[in-house]
């Protein structure tokens, strides 16, 4: 069998695979990209990032959620919302993303191969198309960017078509009256919120004592309160023990002894790295728990010429970080002298209702490190723009070092939190102090102005502390 030679062979066309291929090709390297699915983009384009965020906006629009309480109006469209309505915009966005990725790869002269990939030897990958003979590709460098797939716990009846995971939920035909979401991580919380906004009765169960434990506890608790206000039954420190099928759907029996009756179940119980078909053991690469690969700081596996990036290496498994990991890996692989390190501070955006976002330290992490800090807060309901948009519960929380007032962390919950975070992120990356926000003139009325007032609040807290210490 003839073998085609490339400088780089990429496995997977999600955000990591696409950007890694484009980065190497931009610098003149010959690149092949392998994709086993019939469409490009991986989970980010087809089942995860873009679809779920588009569905969130659709839910907000179709339910009239953003208009509730404004001008004394109450809008409810839920009785007229169908699954077709719910998924229409998502399909348009996904189709547009497929076209964008294809055009980007074509512009960079990346060769596309359809089929499942598996290693023949350390430098050779076999591509098996569905109805064609296999092809062998030789890569001086190989980038594994195969992403992940939903984990299926044994206690849920996935053989029943009414049980969904975060991939198959996009095939839902009818919006149910009630739904159980198993898992209080990012995916579970996001879908619970969007379905609740459409008027579906949602129960969310999470084994830990709070949601999204990587968030600052104030944000996590505020999100739980907001979800309850949205009508979600949030069950913390509880687990599903058994699920019984009944004519109307399912009877879910919890470890606590409680019972819930629901029409549909959505499993949001984590994801596993998509490595099982790659024959990695055949070339001496060890696969860790849930299919994840271990890499060093340059994203190299045990074989220095084989790199791995994105969801397949585990946390944080974000589209934004996956892209950057791939770019850095390829700069290292080909010694391109370009972008050599991931940004030291990364933003996190959670597209619940309301949105949550954070960057830098939390109160918990500062306490663990023994860092003395002060806190400043500003609320949406005391901000003119916040009042205009009707956000009564959101807030910005800033953490500063107590000695020199250097900004250490930002936590936000509320409308546009994932956009608003970047104002603080740039301050963190530049080593800014409270002076940056005090000296800055913000547009009025804007949500960004909360940075100034949260900073004033922190300065006031420091002054009160100094006064108390002096007394």
Question: Of the given ranges (87-96, 155-164, 393-402), which has the lowest mean pLDDT?
Answer: 87-96
Helices (H), 108-216: 186-197
Phi-psi label, residue 42: left if phi above 0, alpha if psi -120 to 50, beta otherwise: left
Domains 3-150+272-333 and 163-269 share a fold: yes
239: exposed, middle or buried (C-beta count within 10 Å: 0-12, 13-18, 19+)?
middle
Q: Quick one: pLDDT at residue 75?
A: 47
Nearest to 183 by CA among 204, 155, 202, 163: 204
Biggest CA–CA distance in the chain, Å, is 85
* Residue pLDDT, tens place only, 271-296: 999 999 999 999 999 998 889 999 99
Give domain 163-269's CATH superfamily. Answer: FAD/NAD(P)-binding domain (3.50.50.60)
The residues facing 179 across adjacent strands are 202, 264
Report d(CA 374, CA 363) in Å as an integer. Answer: 9
The pLDDT of 442-463, averaged and rounded, is 97
Q: Quick one: pLDDT at residue 152?
A: 93
Report d(CA 415, CA 355) in Å as an integer. Answer: 6
Residue 364 tokens read as 């918990």
Residue 125 tokens read as 């990958």
Q: Are 222 and 234 in contact (CB under 8 A)?
A: no
What is the CATH number that goes with domain 354-465?
Answer: 3.30.390.30
3-state class (DSSP) for residue 76: coil
* Confidence check: pLDDT of 49 > 80: no
* Confidence check: pLDDT of 158 > 50: yes
Residue 346 tokens read as 């990364």
User: Domain ranges in the chain?
Assistant: 3-150+272-333, 163-269, 354-465
Q: Quick one: pLDDT at residue 174?
A: 83
Q: Which residue has the higher pLDDT, 93 or 12?
A: 12
Q: Are 272 and 146 in contact (CB under 8 A)?
A: no
Q: Report residue 63's pLDDT band, with 50, 70 and 90 as the boundaries.
A: low
* Residue pLDDT, tens place only, 344-363: 899 999 999 999 999 999 99
* Confidence check: pLDDT of 80 > 70: no
Instruction: List the helix and strand counts (H, then E) for the chain.
Output: 12, 22
Q: Which residue has the higher pLDDT, 406 or 466?
A: 406
Give me the sign of the Cα torsion angle 276, 280, 284, 290. Answer: negative
446: exposed, middle or buried (C-beta count within 10 Å: 0-12, 13-18, 19+)?
middle
* Confidence check: pLDDT of 73 > 50: no
Whole-number average pLDDT of the chain: 91
The pLDDT of 5-25, averaged and rounded, is 96
Q: If you average pLDDT over each of 49-58, 89-98, 257-266, 462-471, which comes out highest?
A: 257-266
What is the CATH number that goes with domain 3-150+272-333?
Answer: 3.50.50.60
The pLDDT of 446-453, averaged and rounded, is 98
Q: Quick one: pLDDT at residue 234?
A: 97
Distances (CA, A) of 318 to 136, 325, 359, 368: 31, 10, 14, 25
* Confidence check: pLDDT of 218 > 90: yes
Nearest to 8 by CA among 111, 114, 134: 111
| Helix pair 186-197, 217-229: axis angle to 10 deg | 30
- B/e letters for 136-172, b = 16+ CB within 10 Å, e = fewer, are ebbbebbbbbbbbbbbeeeebeeeeeebbbbeebbeb
Question: Of the given ranges (136-140, 185-189, 251-255, 364-368), which has the lowest mean pLDDT?
Answer: 185-189
Q: Quick one: pLDDT at residue 83?
A: 63
- pTM, to two decimals: 0.87
Q: Are 270 and 186 in contact (CB under 8 A)?
A: no
* Confidence check: pLDDT of 201 > 80: yes
Q: Report residue 207's pLDDT band, with 50, 70 and 90 as the boundaries.
A: very high
Q: Which residue has the higher pLDDT, 286 or 71?
A: 286
């Amino acid at each position: 069998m003839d073998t085609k030679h490339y400088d780089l062979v990429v496995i997977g066309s999600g955000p990591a695979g696409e950007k890694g291929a484009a980065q190497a090709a931009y610098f003149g390297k010959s690149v092949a990209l392998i994709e086993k699915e019939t469409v490009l983009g991986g989970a980010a384009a087809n089942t995860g990032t873009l679809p779920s965020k588009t569905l969130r906006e659709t839910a907000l629009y179709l339910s009239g959620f953003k208009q509730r309480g404004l001008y004394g109006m109450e809008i409810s469209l839920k009785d007229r919302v169908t699954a077709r309505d719910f998924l229409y915009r998502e399909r348009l966005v996904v189709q547009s993303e497929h076209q964008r990725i294809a055009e980007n790869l074509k512009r960079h002269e990346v060769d596309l191969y359809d089929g499942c990939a598996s290693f023949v030897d350390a430098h050779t990958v076999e591509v098996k198309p569905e109805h064609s003979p296999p092809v062998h590709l030789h890569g001086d460098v190989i980038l594994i960017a195969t992403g992940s797939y939903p984990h299926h716990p044994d206690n849920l009846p996935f053989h029943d078509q009414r049980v969904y995971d975060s991939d198959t939920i996009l095939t839902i035909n009818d919006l149910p009256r009630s739904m159980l979401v198993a898992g209080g991580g990012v995916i579970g919380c996001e879908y619970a919120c969007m379905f609740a906004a459409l008027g579906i009765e949602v129960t969310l169960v999470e084994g830990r004592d709070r949601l999204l434990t990587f968030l600052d506890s104030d944000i996590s608790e505020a999100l739980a309160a907001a979800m309850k206000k949205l009508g979600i039954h949030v069950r913390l420190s509880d687990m599903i023990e058994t699920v019984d099928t009944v004519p109307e759907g399912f009877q879910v029996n919890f470890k606590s002894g409680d019972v819930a009756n629901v029409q549909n179940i959505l499993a949001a119980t984590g994801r596993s790295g998509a490595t099982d078909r790659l024959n990695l053991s055949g070339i001496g690469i060890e696969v860790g728990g849930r299919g994840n690969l271990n890499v060093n700081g340059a994203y190299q596996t045990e074989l220095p010429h084989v790199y791995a990036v994105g969801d397949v290496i585990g946390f944080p498994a974000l589209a934004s970080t996956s892209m950057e990991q791939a770019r850095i890996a390829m700069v290292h692989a080909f010694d391109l002298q370009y972008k050599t390190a991931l940004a030291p501070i990364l933003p996190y955006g959670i597209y619940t209702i309301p949105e949550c976002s954070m960057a830098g330290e939390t109160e918990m992490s500062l306490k663990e490190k023994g860092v003395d800090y002060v806190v400043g807060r500003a609320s949406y309901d005391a901000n003119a723009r916040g009042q205009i948009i009707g956000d009564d519960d959101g807030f910005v929380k800033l953490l500063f070092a107590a000695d020199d007032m250097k900004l250490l962390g930002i936590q936000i919950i509320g409308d546009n939190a994932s956009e608003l975070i970047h104002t603080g992120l740039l301050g963190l990356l530049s080593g800014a102090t409270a002076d940056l926000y005090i000296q800055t003139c913000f547009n009025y009325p804007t949500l960004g102005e909360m940075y100034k007032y949260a900073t004033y609040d922190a300065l006031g807290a420091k002054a009160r502390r100094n006064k108390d210490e002096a007394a």
